[in-house]
Amino acid sequence: MFESAELGHAISKQAYARQVTKLREALLDAQYDLFEAGRFPVYILIGGVDGAGRGETINLLNEWMDPRHIRTVAFGDPSDEESERPRLWRFWRSLPPKGKIGIFFGHWYSDPILDRVNRSTRHAQLVQRIEEIVRFERMLSDEGALVLKFWFHLSKKAQKKRLMSLQKDPRTRWRVTDSDWDRYKRYDRFRKVSEFVLRDTSTARAPWIVIEGQDANYRNLTVGNALLAAMRERLDQKPVLRLEDRIPPIPAALDQRDVLSALDLNVSLDRKHYEQLLEQYQGKLNLLARRPRFNKRSLVLVFEGNDAAGKGGAIRRVTQCLDARQYQTVPVAAPTEEERAQPYLWRFWRQVPRHGRISIFDRSWYGRVLVERVERLASEFDWARAYAEINDFEQQLAENGAIIIKFWLAISKEEQHRRFKEREKTAFKRFKITPEDWRNRKKWKEYETAVCDMVDRTSTDIASWTLVEANDKLYARAKVLKTICENLESELRNN
C-alpha cells in the first residue's frame, strides 16, 4: 500500500506557488457549490504516521476554504460522556450536515489501529471492529456522503529525520513528545497493522488515498487536488439511463396468517386487577432502575404501534415510577430540516442514553421501514437496507450495555375507528386526530405487511419485539410494564 509513498515525492517552491492560487479559487468555488446544492456532505479523514503533517494540512485546508462551512474535529481520549456510549457515538454526533465539509483528525480508525499495535486487542477483534467500520461507511455512502480517506505516510527513515528536525527547531520542539518517540520505536508494527487495515477498508466508494508526507508542498497540493476532483465529480454528476436497482421482493404469507393476525386482540383486564398489577410492576421497575448494576447498563424502550393504539398512555405508566432525572422521552415526528440534512439514524444517535439512563422512544428509527416505506418516502433500496443498518445500530447499543425492549401496540381496525371518532368528539383530545390519521387508515393492509416484515427482520435475541394486544388499554399497559420488569430483572441478574 505504501510503495508510491516512499519515493521522495516533492514539489518545488516555484511550482507550488504557480499552482496553489488556482487551486484555492477552485476549492472555494466547489465549497460554495456544495453548500448551495446541499445535496451531500463531505467527510475527510486524515490519518497516518506521526510527523507526516496531518495537523498542518488540516490547518491549511481551513485556510484555503471558508472555515464557516467546515467542521474540523479532533478526537483524544474518549470523555466519560463518550465512553458510556457505543464506540462510534462520538463520530456519529460530529458528522457535518449536507452541504458542509467535516475534517476528522483522529477518526474511527485511530483506536482500532493503535489498540492492535499496543496488543490490547487480538487480530480477530480488530477484524470485527473493521467490519463495523466498513458497514458504517457503506451506510454513509448509501446515504449520499462523499467519504475521502487520506493516509499520510513516511518511511521509517523519513519519520526519524522529521522528528529530529522538529525537535531541533525551538519553534516546533513542543510538537515532539516522548510518546512520539515511543511510537517511532513501534514503527514496523504500526506499519504492518495499518497496512492490513487500509487494505481491508479500501472500498470502491471510500478508498484510502495514501500520500507521502515528507514534502509539505507535495502533500498539501495532492490533498487539495484530490479533494477538488472528488467534489467536482460529485457536484457535476449527470443523470444517466440505468437499469433500475431492484431488490428481491419480500414474499407475503400465502395463508393470511402472520404475527399480527395471530394475536388475540380482545384479551382484557378488569380495572381492579389492573390497579394491583400497576402498583406491583411500577414498584418493581422503580427498584430495578435504581439497582447499582444498572449503572453499567442503559435502557432503550421503543414504542411503535397503530395510530391511537395508546403508546402515550403506556409510556406515561412507565415514566410515572421513574426519577425524572434518569429518563427522557423522545417523541418522534417528521424529521426537521436539520435532521433531513443527516443520515436518517442521526436524530436517534443523538438520543442514545448513557449508562444508568433510560431513553423512551415514542416512535423511532423504525419509521424508515414503516411510514417511509408505505408512503414511499424512502426508495425501495433505502428501506430494504435499513433492516441491516438498524440491526447493526442496535447491536452497537447492546455491546455498549444497552438493554433494548421494543413494543408494537396493536389494535384492530374497528377499535381504531372507534377511538378516532371518540377523539373527534372530545375537545381536549381533538388535537390528537388529523386528516393524516384517516389517510393512513386507508393503507391498513400495507402497514400490516410492513409491520410483519419489520418484526421478522429485526426481532433478534439482542433486541426482540414484544407484540402487545392493545384493544384493551389496561391489558396493554400491564403487559408493557411486566415485559420491561422481566427483561430488566433477567439482564441485571445475568450480568
Site for its own copies in 109-168 (CB under 8 A): 122, 124-125, 127-128, 131, 146, 148
User: Residue 306's closest CA among 359, 356, 249, 260?
Assistant: 260
Under rule CB under 8 A, residue 18 binds its own copies: no
CB of 175 to its own copies, least distance (A): 26
Rounded CA separation 206/188 (Å): 26
Binding mask 390-409 toward its own copies (x if CB under 8 A, else -) reads: -x------------------
Rounded CA separation 273/281 (Å): 12
Of 170, 248, 292, 435, which one interacts with its own copies (CB under 8 A)? 248
Ranges within 39-78 binding its own copies (CB under 8 A): none
**Cell reading at 37:** 446544492
Under rule CB under 8 A, residue 9 binds its own copies: yes
Under rule CB under 8 A, residue 188 binds its own copies: no
Binding mask 212-241 toward its own copies (x if CB under 8 A, else -) reads: ------x--xx--xx--xx--xx--xxxxx
Are the C-beta atoms of residues 223 and 57 closer than 8 Å to each other?
A: yes
Under rule CB under 8 A, residue 388 binds its own copies: yes
Of 34, 65, 210, 403, which one interacts with its own copies (CB under 8 A)? 210
User: Residue 85's closest CA among 469, 463, 400?
Assistant: 400
CB of 369 to its own copies, least distance (A): 11
Rounded CA separation 226/218 (Å): 12
CB of 222 to its own copies, least distance (A): 6
User: Residue 398's closest CA among 343, 337, 449, 463?
Assistant: 463
Q: How many CA atoms lie within 13 A of 391 on its CB side?
A: 15
Of 251, 428, 431, 435, which one interacts with its own copies (CB under 8 A)? 251
CB of 260 to its own copies, least distance (A): 10
Of 114, 166, 209, 398, which one interacts with its own copies (CB under 8 A)? 209
How many residues in the chain?
495
Are the C-beta atoms of residues 405 and 483 closer than 8 Å to each other?
A: yes
Nearer to its own copies, 200 or 446 (CB): 200
Rounded CA separation 380/450 (Å): 12
Of 68, 119, 185, 242, which one interacts with its own copies (CB under 8 A)? 242
**Cell reading at 139:** 451506510
Nearer to its own copies, 164 or 253 (CB): 253
How many binding residues for its own copies (CB under 8 A)?
Answer: 74
Of 76, 254, 427, 431, which one interacts with its own copies (CB under 8 A)? 254
Are the C-beta atoms of residues 47 and 110 closer than 8 Å to each other?
A: yes
Distances (CA, A) of 74 to 45, 77, 422: 10, 10, 55
Under rule CB under 8 A, residue 435 binds its own copies: no
CB of 452 to its own copies, least distance (A): 6
CB of 242 to its own copies, least distance (A): 5
Nearer to its own copies, 254 or 324 (CB): 254
Ranges within 261-280 binding its own copies (CB under 8 A): 262
Q: Which distant-in-sequence residues (6+ apart) come within 8 Å of 437 by Cβ?
A: 307, 308, 420
Rounded CA separation 477/441 (Å): 23
Under rule CB under 8 A, residue 457 binds its own copies: yes
Under rule CB under 8 A, residue 3 binds its own copies: yes
Nearer to its own copies, 8 or 331 (CB): 8
Nearer to its own copies, 243 or 333 (CB): 243
CA gyration radius, the chain: 27
Nearer to its own copies, 200 or 339 (CB): 200
CA angle (375, 381, 383) in 5-degree steps: 50
Cα 6 → chain centroid: 36
Under rule CB under 8 A, residue 243 binds its own copies: yes
CA dihedral 197, 200, 203, 209 (to 10 degrees): 40
CB of 395 to its own copies, least distance (A): 8
